[in-house]
Amino acid sequence: MQNIILMFFHLSAAAVALGALVFGALIIRPVIKKSEEKASLEESLEHKLMDRLAPTVLACVFVLIVTGVYYLLVNYTDQVNLKEGYYNIFGMKMLFVVATLGLSVYQTFGLRARISDLDLRPENKKQVPETLNSMAYTGHMILWTLILAIFFGVFLARF
């Protein structure tokens, strides 16, 4: 039962992260950008969208890592004598997990920090358009590394 609950949270976190990125970065952001050409960027929906999308995805990645590591710890003894190649797939998956985590940490703590508390740091206001674009591009990169991590996760579970 424990494994089912762990994989339920593991899969749900993957689904929320994937869904948030597809809807936020690919579907709604272009619509918002078009409809808000004249709006002040600090007050814009795009600013609010990226400000919330980054930590949402990072939280999902943390849930994935905690449930994945815990799954391995509680099933470690079962994770031996696996078919040849299991850990090659696992290694490939971890490459994309590390890339997803690195990009998501950069998006949340590197870029998002530049669009936060603009009233306290008005000098950052002129960087907002560029930073929002960087956050969207980073979001696209996270989307691809996440999709590949999910693919290798599903491959792993059925190997």
Contact 47, 41 (CB under 8 A): yes
Instruction: Kindly tell me which of 4 and 120 has the beta carbon lying closer to ligand HEM.
Output: 4
Shortest spacing between CB 64 and ligand HEM, in angstroms: 4
Q: How far apart are CA 51 and CA 116, in angstroms?
A: 8
Instruction: Kindly tell me which of 79 and 127 has the beta carbon lying closer to ligand HEM.
Output: 79
| Tokens 């530049």 sit on residue | 114
Neighbours of 142 (CB within 10 A): 27
Q: How far apart are CA 111 and CA 134, in angstroms?
A: 8
Shortest spacing between CB 93 and ligand HEM, in angstroms: 7
Q: Name the residues that contact ligand HEM, by CB under 6 A.
A: 7, 10-11, 14, 61, 64-65, 68-69, 71-72, 97, 100, 146, 149-150, 153-154, 156-157
Shortest spacing between CB 88 and ligand HEM, in angstroms: 13
